[in-house]
Structure 1
């Protein structure tokens, strides 16, 4: 466990982090910068290539068995490179590298290729957020792409996942990004931003389409979800997250008591 803390942390939370792992104070100043710093750790620290690494944002609720389920999937799905605990989209039957269409069905519904492991079915997913797992050797090999993609703006994590799977992330109409409001931003700023985004997004498109077939990655996700982004109104559907929170709290309490007994 490595906690990359940008800014002050309440003492009780800091004490918990210290007991659980390494506290790494950083001064990044933005989510993008701290994310890019974390992506450097596997290579910089020489972590074992065949280990799994999990990148975790701080605003997620996991089920108690979420990460053990990821480990089980990694053991039984040798074709998988990246793992997520929270997704919805999968590719359509007519998807191509230049036109990555999406299935009208959610998650593993009707997916004959989904694999049941324990209580969940794992399916090939379109994208994840910036909370995900991967093999260390995959992160090291993809580090340049992963650390460059955040500069494309917008839902860069979605674009990243498409790119490492070899699919074009942006259509022609998306290259310049969403237009800024003329009344709030000067014309020069709007022009410069559009030119910059067009260049960056075009470069990511080219990198995705140039990716050799043998280097195209596979992202898998569970059905049902094993975590949720804690954003009001956007919790993963179909799960009683209040009950899951109570279960995790009970599990954490039992773990603390067991640690105290030792």
Structure 2
């Protein structure tokens, strides 16, 4: 019997990646806002957080300990092992833990809406046909023709969800489904892209030769995503049974990158006014 609703592997490093729409010059402040946002989003859910601190000064450990009870938190210190290695560590931790069947991969630059995790947990419990869930209604779903496909839309957990082909590396799953897909996900740590990894899991477009020709001439970046999927994940492309990935509409979280905010939500209103406790 699992003790908690969800186990979270949260990776963080002291640098700023991309261009966040707030606190762009202060990573500790950005991290504090995102962590405070996540804490509110966890209301109503029992959880265990495994915080992977990659080359972080002591202030980052203090940040986590000020937000969460000791029994709900485990600190894992790493010495600047980098993005790919910390993602692999997330996989290892979540597959090895026995706290919860539902697991969550968290990055350090996401804002959440209140109650987000309660909906994610309910969805995965109510809909066994859903294998993976992203909290992020990515702007790319509306702007890239790669996502011009027919989605299944369902209503569960007091929210709407739709099937999608790819997402980033913040997502939830059942531990059993993560175990099935872990080898495909590990290709990210070997040099694949996040989108390419997801295509090996969801199978969107990878068997359609017309898509390769279309993207080769219209958008070489999208062609490369398909090609990289085969370069690193050809075994999974051929032999791993398709798994499903769903995204919320509207979004339950956003990546803080200024150019990729989830649409139709005023994210400024979700920045905690006093993130440091």
Length-normalised TM-score, structure 2: 0.65
Checking the alignment, whether the CA contact within 8 Å between 2:102 and 2:175 is kept in structure 1 is yes
**Which of 120, 143, 158 is equivalent to 2:195?**
158
Residue 80 (structure 1) aligned to one of 120, 130, 136? 130
Is 1:123 the counterpart of 2:162 in the alignment?
yes
Deviations 1:191-245 (A, max 9, x none): xxx9xx9996533352343135xx2100011000000001123211210112233
Residue 55 in structure 1 maps to residue 92 in structure 2: no
Displacement of 1:14:
4.1
Shift of 1:60: 0.3
- Answer yes or no: is the 8 Å Cα contact 2:165–2:203 preserved in 1: no
The aligned residue for residue 44 of structure 2 is: none
Counterpart residue number, 1:114: 153
Match of 2:6 in 1: none
CA distance in 2, matches of 1:124, 1:59: 24
Query: Following the alignment from structure 1 to structure 2, what is the Cα–Cα distance between the partners of residues 198 and 125?
Result: 15
Distance (whole Å) between structure 2 residues aligned to residue 151 and residue 53 of structure 1: 22
Q: Rg bigger for which structure?
A: 1
Of 27, 30, 38, which residue of structure 1 is paired with 2:82?
A: 30
Are the structure 2 counterparts of residues 146 and 222 from structure 1 closer, same or farther at C-alpha, using a change threshold of 3 Å?
A: same
Q: 2:94 maps to which residue?
A: 42
Q: TM-score, normalised by structure 1?
A: 0.68
Aligned-pair CA distance for 1:58: 0.5
Where 1:137 maps in the other structure, the secondary structure is: helix
Q: How many residues align?
A: 212
Runs (4+) of structure 1 exceeding 6 A deviation are 197-200
Q: Residues 222-261 of structure 1: matches in 2 within 5 Å?
A: 222-246=248-272
Secondary structure in 2 aligned to 1:55?
strand
- The alpha carbon displacement at 1:119 in A equals 4.2
Give how far 1:166 is off: 2.6
Structure 1 runs not aligned, ≥5 long: 91-99, 106-110, 179-193, 257-262
CA change 1:18–1:65 in 2 (3 A) is closer
* Matches of 1:116 and 1:199, distance apart in 2: 34
Deviation at 1:125, TM superposition (A): 1.1
CA RMSD of aligned residues (A): 3.6
Counterpart residue number, 1:145: 184
Equivalent residue, structure 2, for 1:188: none
Q: Matched residue of 1:56: which SS?
A: strand
Contact 2:202 2:243 in 1 (8 A): yes
